[in-house]
Structures are given as structure tokens and as C-alpha cells.
Amino acid sequence: MKKIKTGDTVKVNYTGRLEDGSVFDTSLVEGREPLQTTLGQGQLIKGFEDGLMDMTEGEKKTVTIEVEDAYGHYQDYMVEEVEKEKLPGEVEVGTPLQAQTQVGPINFVVKEIKENTVVLDANHPLAGQRLIFDLEVVEIN
């Protein structure tokens, strides 16, 4: 039976959970196809890709991905307070924003709204979290 290795294109059903059991993403909803990806191209977080290695078609397993192999540690320097007038109109906590920088676009989420300023957070929403994935290999090409 063929085992997954770097360079293989795979189709995988998955459910991602946090340690408290809350689901943050799944391919197992109506209208959604299994995730298809080619391993070794940096399209997935390291821990997800590592978890798929050596699995076989039809195999299921659960992997726990440490912070370092997921979205990294939460970085305080990626939080910035800016004047409200610099923002494009009204925003609420949780509003996603994008800014153009010299190195390309950066995504932010409004974390807090103060009287004259807004706190923006450029950390990935799952930064600092250990992630748990239930994986099922649907196909290996």
C-alpha cells in the first residue's frame, strides 16, 4: 500500500479543533470538497504536512500540532495602536483590514476600539494555539 511522501498530491478530509474542543475549520460540511494539496510546497502548516507523511489511502488519525509547527507564538510586536482617522470608515472589534506595506499586504483584525485610537492585531487568529486535527486520507496521486 502506497504511503504519502513529499511531492505527492493528496486529498484529505480534516477537522481542526482547539484544545477546548471547539472546531475552527473542517472539510466535512455540505458543499465542501476534501483539501487537495501537493506536499512539500509550503502550502500547509508544517505540523499538518508532517502529520500526513507515511499515511495510506483510507487511513484516519488524529495529530496534535504544537504552536511552533502551527501558526507560531503570539507576537506582541504585531499589535499596533493607530489613530481612528487613519482607518477607512467605521470599524468594529473583529473587523478584518488590510494595509499595503513595502513588503506587500498585511492583514489585521481590529482587536480593541478606544476613544481616539484603534488597536490592530496582525497575528494569525490561531497564533499561540496548539491545534488538533482529525485527518482522513481520501486519495494519493
The helix (run of H) or strand (run of E) holding residue 47 is: helix 46-52
Would you state the cell numbers that stand for residue 135, as one nine-digit string? 485527518
Q: Where are the domains of the chain?
A: 9-72+126-140, 76-121
The amino acid occupying position 134 is D
CB 48 within 8 A of CB 71: no
Architecture per CATH, 9-72+126-140: Roll (3.10)
Architecture per CATH, 76-121: Beta Barrel (2.40)
**Residue 1: per-residue pLDDT:** 87
Distance between CA atoms of residues 4 and 49, nearest Å? 10
**Residue 88: per-residue pLDDT:** 82
Q: Splitting the chain (141 residues) into consecutive groups of 10 residues, what average pLDDT does each group show?
A: 95 98 96 96 96 98 98 97 90 93 92 96 97 98 92
**Residue 115: per-residue pLDDT:** 95
**Residue 41: per-residue pLDDT:** 95
**Residue 89: per-residue pLDDT:** 84
